[in-house]
Structure 1
Amino acid sequence: MSFSVSELSALTSANGFTLWHYRTADDRATVLAPGYFAAAATYLLPGDIVIVQAADATAMVPIRGGTLPGSGVTVDGSGSTPALLRSATLRVDVMLSAAAAARAIQLDALPALLFANDPLPVGATITGPVTQVTFSLRNSAGVDVVPAKTVAVAGGRASTTFIAPPPAGGYRIRVIETGDPTLATFSPPFAVAQPPRLLIEAGGSLLLENGALLLL
């Protein structure tokens, strides 16, 4: 075969020097013969280098005057495709901006005296971007004794009402931000008392409302 200009392509060029690539089914000896690149005399200049991918080898061939190739250097005797690697360092700047937003939940004080089955109002003052909170009523073991209630925050306030549980001590109100349970607060422990009973007088004795005798 003879030289084919369509298989010749420039890889890079700078300061009057060009690095070329040429692929052919001819062997390396044919490509290095004088006059093989004559048809490319207008492209190839003295000092240029051609990476020749021939049938039997891949070589780097310098171009002398008059498109006469030098002996070159065999890169790969198998004729396989050369691997051309290019590396670069890219600088990436990332800028993040953030603003701190304070959040807080402050529970209202609970009634001083609570009796079983009485309404138990609970409320909290909310600071910061909190839209919902969840109230729960827990016993001394940390277990909810009634279903928790989720309410919306409006004007920095949230409130709801529970029914006081059976008489016992160690109850606590817990309130958390619904969207972020890490923001939470507890009330101090409180007790629920037995409701008072009525006393009546009969025959000079005071009686409980269930008829049991109370001695004074």
Structure 2
Amino acid sequence: MAAWSSGDERRHLFDLARAARRPVRAHPHRSAERVPESTRRLLHVLATPGPVLGRHLDVLAWNPLAEALLGDPADRPPADRNTVSVLFREPEARMLCPGWENMARQYVAMLRAAVADDPDHPRAMALVGELSIHSAAFRRLWARHDVRENVHGTTLFQHPEVGGITLDWDTYPLPGDPGPVLLVFTTEPGTTDAGRLQLLASLWATRDTAPRRSAADEIRRQPA
């Protein structure tokens, strides 16, 4: 088992023990996940990609640069806007991420950590069940029992417009128990990667943005 996850695995075991002792009727973390309006405003002033992820890694909100880097979540039904599902069920994800295996392993480990808090959560059961049926790669990685909290990492993207770009990512908790997290991609200023990220932003800004803004406005109108 990977050395980086030893501390996370220990917390995972305690979480499982607490979940086992919890009365079946108690579901303290099943309230609807909402993104504060202040966070939505923050997303649209960030000069870097920034999606918001729910407890099971569903994409709840995003900014234009996240759309430029990762694709438009609005192209998928809300139930399919999940980062783990996209990684395993969409071939484009493997093309976008040359280090797909490592990234997929990290996200599966983060999903397992989230599932520990409420193992019979309907969303968790549906997501894990669906991916187990449709993806042998998911079954293989899920069987590793790796556990990781979603804190930080580095990912290489092979973007079709700007080429290879390596970005660091960090997660920032938002209000809630547990609340969503803001996932922010950044890179060192003055580097080739920073130049390519700026180029991506420039290319995206010069496009016909009317349909895309309409989708973004719809997202912002959802209750905070």
- TM-score (ref. length: structure 1): 0.22
Q: Larger % of strand: which?
A: 1
Q: Larger % of helix: which?
A: 2
Larger radius of gyration: 1
- TM-score (ref. length: structure 2): 0.21
